[in-house]
Amino acid sequence: MISKDSIQNLHNQSRVLLKGADFVYLLPHPALRKWISNYTVTFPHANMMSDNYSVIPHGSATLVFSFDGNRIRSNFFGPITKSAQIGRQANFFKFIFIVEFQPAGYYAFCNIPQTELTDCLLPFDVVFPVLNKLTTEKIETSHDLTCMTAEIDKLFLTHLKIAYYKPEFSLANQLIRFSGGLISVKELSQNIFYSERHLNRIFEKYLGIGIKSFSRLVRVNKAIRLLRRRDYNLTKVYLETGFYDMSHFINDFKIICGITPNEYRKNMSDFYSEIAKF
């Protein structure tokens, strides 16, 4: 298994999104970037994260391999729609490897409707036994981070089942992200020339949630990025993210994050800062 020194000895720095002494965010192989957002390698230590450390949902699935000093455990988080606290559990492990999928990305490897996995937490050996076994073996036997990620790239490339989404989904997805989640279902339907019902059906199939829910995630994640900027007050954030009024902004934010925007701003270190999606 790799050691913490592997982070500083990475051969290919062009894949590094963010790096510290005990963690690194890495881009996957270019052919996988449509489906996988990034890999994260972490060597936790006492109090590295607060017990309240939480992940804000992005409408995407996440795969986590954790080593406790004795064995590797793997868990699959289906597309989540509400924040989840992970700090207390994460600090328990000595090594964590995470595969963060793009929204709708996991569908390309499993080819099953994502609504079956939305907000589910399952052992990965139940979800995808073959890929779980092979990935665990690569993590156990690798002694170099560059080689380990290259081998895991190969596994995911081998298990990629589809090359493209339906064009109406790809276009609708792009329009939602480009608009910051402001385009309505009706406008999408008019722009893409497919019915609202059809578009919602394929979003639920590929992404695990409907268009309105995904658009709200996009808007709240945009708000989070703005809240991290010192030059944006709360009013400026809500105006730029297009909410009807402040109360709607606070309500939607709290539904997804579990706290108000002001509470988030006061406790930003307790939340995972998304750097690779949207």
pLDDT at 278: 66
pLDDT at 275: 64
Angle, CA of 264, 208 and 127, to the nearest 5°: 105
pLDDT at 46: 67
| DSSP structural state of residue 271 | B
pTM of the model: 0.92
The domains of the chain are located at 5-158, 167-270
* Pairing mode, strands 16-19 and 23-26: antiparallel
Domain covering 167-270: architecture: Orthogonal Bundle (1.10)
Calculate mean pLDDT across residues 78-105.
Answer: 87
Q: What percent of the chain has pLDDT over 70?
A: 96
Pairwise CA distance, residues 240 & 226, whole Å = 9
Pairwise CA distance, residues 174 & 190, whole Å = 15
pLDDT in tens, 174-229: 999 999 999 999 999 999 999 999 999 999 999 999 999 999 999 999 999 999 99
